[in-house]
Structure 1
Amino acid sequence: MHPPTWLTAFLDLPADEFDAAVAFWQAVTGYSLSAYRGEREEFATLLPAAGDAFLRVQSVESGPAGVHLDLHAPDQVFEVRRSPGGLAYCLVSGTESERPAPTTWEDGNRSQVDQVCIDIPPALWDDECAFWASATGWELVQGGRPEFRRLRRPARQPLNILLQRLDEPDGPVRAHLDLSADDRAAEVRRHERLGAQVDRVHEGWTVMRPPAGPVYCVTGRVPSADPT
């Protein structure tokens, strides 16, 4: 497997939530939407004003809403694979290289979807951490809390990968999106105006429940202004 030169986060959305979820994430990001594609017109891409795309949406016929990663590399043959804990991911061909800058809103606050958090039950923790470090070739380092590890993102990559050890003893490995923002409280209020609800508040992040699609977090991390 080639080390990825780019990552894409895919929102996997049940058909009955698809339109509402896509509209919500367009509003959250400020991105436009590509033409639909696929046999059922089930795929689309969220398009930043500048830089290469790294967020896509997919209408799924069964199963709950979720998130998966695409790992891009030039001349990569398309494959669907699973991590040791069963989280699906895809190997795809791509040559993207320009990371978009954060979006600046009317109040001057900047925000950006810039992280995929992989949620891992304790029994699978070490295997999943080792797997994602090997799959990406990125350095695995300890996070700011005991339950977090992260992969050190190379320059130009659009997404961080955070690994979170869950409290629940078992269950599936899953993933969600995280946003960074200059002002976390202002960003949460903006999302509430778009129809999301606060689910839980932690010291460094707020868990949000959107009007459609999977839960996500607004974090206290400050977005990078440098798209390289």
Structure 2
Amino acid sequence: MTPFWVSAFLDLADDDFARGVVFWAEVTGYRVSSPRGDSEEFATLVPPQGDDFLRVQKLAVGPSRIHLDVHVDDPQVAAEEAVALGARVVHRSRHGYVVVASPGGFVYCLVAHPAGVRPPPAGWPGGSSLVDQVCLDIPAAGFDEECAFWQAVTGWELQEAGPEFRRLVRPAGIPLRLLLQRLDDPAGQVSAHLDLASSDRAAEAARHERLGARVLSVNEHWTVLADPAGSAYCITDRDPETGLLP
């Protein structure tokens, strides 16, 4: 069942939640919604234009991480299709969504929340930027299996993107691209991080540093940073409008 929208959840540890929400709201320029949930553990980062695709969750236990919401017409049917491809169901919610783990252990949710208008990049002094990609960090031993799984789940074309990267070609209007990275570590669980597209990577990195991030490394086409809670993410040279390298 092909998704019609993809959202990313920043799952923040209790001690990281307040500063993490403030940081990502300032980075994106998005408004933080009123909290919701039984313990007011959820909120949405609401863009000035278009539909939301970034949300935050306060975790009761465990370290900060990222998970995806894959929006489909029928989460129950999509869950059965995912299981047939090698996934396992973690939880079926009374609210209608299904929590699933990929063959490599990456947890995501199948939801039916409506959305369809991709927000434009945000403009800043010196350029523009947009959170527009989730990179799945995949241990080497399970890389081919995980790539095949996500290609089948999404129905998107899988392309080679370098020695250790493959990408899924998102349809027009979807807010988040999916990049698949093969790690040097042979084993372990699949994790994920966020990537931003930026028209001026150096200026964007400097802006993030002023907001409390730390630069971890500078590479040919991307800069790795850590947010104030210590979670890694990347700013890339990709065009914020197209998502592609210029």
SS of 1:39's equivalent in the other structure is coil
Q: Which residue of 1 aligns with 2:28?
A: 29
CA 100–137 in structure 1, closer or farther in 2 if over 3 Å, else same: same
Q: Does 1:159 align with 2:158?
A: no
Q: Which residue of 1 aligns with 2:139?
A: 121
Q: Does 1:5 align with 2:24?
A: no
**Structure 1 stretch displaced more, 183-192 or 59-68:** 59-68
Distance 1:157 1:32 in 2: 20
Higher helix share: 2
Relative CO higher for 1 or 2, CA cutoff 8 Å, sep ≥ 6? Answer: 1
Q: Does 1:177 align with 2:194?
A: yes
Q: Which residue of 2 aligns with 1:139?
A: 157
Q: Normalising to structure 1: TM-score of the pair? A: 0.95
SS of 1:17's equivalent in the other structure is helix
Q: Give the letter aligned to residue 53 of structure 2.
A: F
Q: Which residue of 2 aligns with 1:104?
A: 123
CA root-mean-square deviation: 1.3
Q: Which residue of 2 aligns with 1:89?
A: 108
Q: CA offset at residue 207 of structure 1?
A: 0.7
Distance 1:97 1:214 in 2: 29
**Structure 1 stretch displaced more, 13-22 or 165-174:** 165-174
Which sections of structure 2, spanning at least 5 residues, go unmatched? Answer: 76-95
Q: Normalising to structure 2: TM-score of the pair? A: 0.88
- Give the % identical residues: 57
Contact 2:126/2:203 (8 A) holds in 1: no
Matches within 5 A, 1:200-215: 200-212=217-229, 214-215=231-232
SS of 1:26's equivalent in the other structure is helix
Residue by residue, what CA displacement relative to the aligned partner does 1:77-119 show, whole Å, maximum 9, x if unpaired? 41000010101000001220000000001x1410000000000
Distance 1:28 1:157 in 2: 20
SS of 1:216's equivalent in the other structure is strand
